[in-house]
Amino acid sequence: MDTDRVPAHPDLRTITLQQVLEAVVEPVRRSILIQLRDSPADIKCGAFDLPVSKSTATHHFRILREAGLIRQYYAGTSRMNALRHAETDEAFPGLLDAIVAAERRATRS
């Protein structure tokens, strides 16, 4: 792994509820979280189904990373994304699960 290219990830203990809510209030960012939650494996940036340009998507990935919600790393030339689910759930118990569940109910109906 080329650690020079791996972006910084915050300690969840430094993340505020305000940051998390500002991250998840944006629908595209919630879509990224749902796709990660539904995927059996981590997903590279280019493989998400998103209704925005590549540069806009990159912005959304950064916001999610800075809010402590996703971890990004390189596999070869691909920037991969993983949910920081256990850490997030420890810092904000039940919050992400409640949002994902509500989003899924909305998508089904």
47 binds a second copy (CB under 8 A): no
28, 57 contact by CB (below 8 A): yes
Q: Does 22 bind a second copy (CB under 8 A)?
A: yes
State yes or no: residue 94 binds a second copy (CB under 8 A): yes
CA separation for the pair 86, 89 (Å, rounded): 5
Minimum CB distance to a second copy smaller for 51 or for 76 = 51
The token pair at 36 is 């990660």
**3-class DSSP state of 86:** helix
Binding residues vs a second copy (CB under 8 A)? 16-18, 20-22, 24-25, 27, 30, 92-95, 97-99, 101-103, 106
